[in-house]
Structure 1
Amino acid sequence: MIKVMIVDDHVLIRKGLLLLLQSYSDIEIVGEAGDGEEAILCAERTNPDIILMDISIPSGLDGFTATQEIMKQNGSVKVILLTMHNEMVYIQKAIDINAHGYLLKNSQGGELYQAIKSVYNGKKYYSVGLPQEQIEKMFKRKGKDKSCILTIREQEVVRLTILGYTNMQIAVKLLISVKTVENHKANIMQKLNLKNKSELIQYGLSNNYLELV
């Protein structure tokens, strides 16, 4: 049996997750909590294998802080962060604190079960619209290079690339040289561990760069 604990400040979401997971014969719900402080106490009391942790907890400790404290107290527990946020800053924060999984709340129930099984079996499970290979590289680089958040100018280059602008057109629009555009793109690819233009476009679309003005 996989012992699972649920942390979310919304009672209805906790109950929904509980009902969903109770349908699996190899999962046992051992506890639930509504905030970070309660989560720390509940984890210490119930000793779960997996914790489903909401990131956005409006009062008290947030999910990131609670996760760090729980993992500090219990090195064997594994945490899957549940969130509505798919922005790179949240994903990078999850990687920085070594969270084992990252799953959007609008994911299908079957994917939640798959995430639990994968993490329980020692794998990372990040369902964030990025290639698994890229996520693994980000884990390897954490602590060495945390400058993954792009500058304003780099964000502009990403947005214009998504819109189909060539390097020459980007240079004209931003009043910079083509060489500078190429340098910006090289820096972006290095920061985000991307290999090609299609991965760059996928990253930009997943993180709403088209909404930048």
Structure 2
Amino acid sequence: MSFTVLIADDHFPVRFGLELLTKETLGANTKIDFASDFIGILEKIKTQAYDLLISDIMMPGMDCMSMMQEALSLRPNLKILFVSVNPKEIFALRYMNAGAYGYVCKSDSDEELKKAIRNIYLGKRYYPEGVLESRTMMVKGKKVNSLFDLLSQREFAVMMLLLEGKGIIEIANTLQLNPSTASTYRGRIFEKLKVKSLIELSNMAREHKFSLD
């Protein structure tokens, strides 16, 4: 049976490029389907058991972590490789600890992406080079890359939505939370990251090279 891949990105040129690299790595006969948002991913995997999902982490429809949890509940054997512009030092281990099989930055070389795809095809997780060794900051007895590592998965999801410019009501609806709970998460985020406003949070994210595109 052939290896099946679902490629998800909200930009057509990126999907096209990922298709070419995937076929160069796994062979021209590799079966590939496409989605342009997180809801589209879930619709596809409800009807098709893919071996590999290659996806961006910033797309419309819902938050990435919720998509991944639902996707893995539907297809426990699905391997997920995230390809993103966001810094691997902050994002890679968080998503891999939650169930992803690999993480590659869009700024990495084509060979890096091919290596990740090849590893996952062989059943191996792909950790970006240097990520496991880069946790050098000690905070409250915990070795971390940055203060962002102190956030829980839910707090991180709320933070990303705040950085997209969403208000508390919209965040609550997106994550299926009570608005007061979403507001509490915002307070915890500010406390852990030592910021006092959304402007300071945005500046901190920018300093760490976050991208929300």
Aligning the two structures, in what range does the TM-score lie when normalised by the shorter sequence?
0.5 to 0.7
- Aligned equivalent of 1:40, options 14, 38, 42: 42
Q: What TM-score comes out, normalization by structure 2 length?
A: 0.58
Matched residue SS, 1:125 = coil
Residue equivalent to 1:67 = 68
**Aligned structure 1 segments of 4 or more residues deviating by more than 6 angstroms:** none
Residue equivalent to 2:51 = 49
RMSD: 3.0
8 Å CA contact retained: 2:5, 2:52 = yes
Give the distance between the partners of 1:111 and 1:14, measured in 2 at CA: 17
Does residue 82 in structure 1 map to residue 83 in structure 2?
yes
Larger Rg: 1
Give the distance between the partners of 1:149 and 1:109, measured in 2 at CA: 26
Question: Cα deviation per residue 1:63-104 (whole Å; 9 max; x = unaligned)?
Answer: 332122111111111000111111543224213312110011
Gaps of 5+ in 1: 136-144, 153-206
Name the CA shift for 1:96/1:69 in 2 (closer, same or farther; >3 Å): same
Gaps of 5+ in 2: 136-140, 149-205, 209-213
Does residue 10 in structure 1 map to residue 31 in structure 2?
no
- % same residue: 25
8 Å CA contact retained: 1:4, 1:27 = no
| C-alpha deviation, 1:14, in angstroms | 0.5
Matched residue SS, 1:43 = helix
| C-alpha deviation, 1:146, in angstroms | 8.1
Amino acid at match of 1:75: P
Name the CA shift for 1:124/1:146 in 2 (closer, same or farther; >3 Å): farther
Moved more, 119-128 or 96-105: 119-128
